[in-house]
Amino acid sequence: MSAQVIKLGEGYFFLKINNFLKLNEINEVWDEINFLTFRSKLKKNTNTAETENGELLSNKNGVFLDDIYSERKFCNFFKYYKKWNNEQTKINLLKTSLFWRNLFVSQFDSTLLSYYEDGSYYKQHTDESRFTQLFWTFKQPKKFSGGELVFTDFNYQLETENNTLILFPSWFAHRVEPVVLNEKTPEDQDKFLCNGRYVFTTFYN
């Protein structure tokens, strides 16, 4: 696990951690992904941001993990999602801004698993939380192009990297570029081929 605090602008930073999960841990998470990746389980509208006219800003599929599991101990992802929360990370973030104190006293969070199939995107938006955590994973070798995260306030683009976590203030405006799959799932097939972009989004309040 390799963590770095990256500067976007004067006084604005985000946390990036490469190789966030160990091999056995990410294998457990993929067991969960394979269990959930069906059209009948992943829905289009998961409290997705909207325009003033009620138009959804994204066409991805997803599900909130707390809607699936009555207790978090049964969820593989929840075993590991806060591995970043240690004293060194706290020191590194607080060096950039005392605003991060809000993160370390957060008493509520929710996690959304999203799957970006061929043509999926998320237009510019901000999240209705204090901090947003993204964990990216996808099949190896990579079977899609696109899907980059763009912090639009800073014109800063991040490629989707496997087994990578980022954490940022939720009011940073951001978007996800359209995903283009090498092989997409047939429309009449319930089980997705799992070839696209997966992200576990955790909202901290």
Query: pLDDT, tens digit, for every residue of 72-106?
Result: 999 999 999 999 999 999 999 999 999 999 999 99
Task: Please give the biggest Cα pair distance in the chain.
Answer: 52
Evaluate whether 122 touches 44 at the Cβ level (below 8 Å). no
Instruction: Give me the pLDDT at residue 143, please.
Output: 97
Instruction: Give me the pLDDT at residue 1, please.
Output: 87
Q: Range of 131's domain?
A: 2-204
Instruction: Give me the pLDDT at residue 51, please.
Output: 87
Domain CATH number, residue 196: 2.60.120.620
Domain count, the chain: 1
Query: pLDDT, tens digit, for every residue of 10-51?
Result: 999 999 999 999 999 999 999 999 999 999 999 988 888 888
What is the side-by-side strand order in the sheet with 109-116?
Answer: 2-9, 12-18, 164-169, 131-137, 197-204, 109-116, 61-64
Return the SS3 of 92. Answer: helix
pTM score, whole prediction: 0.97
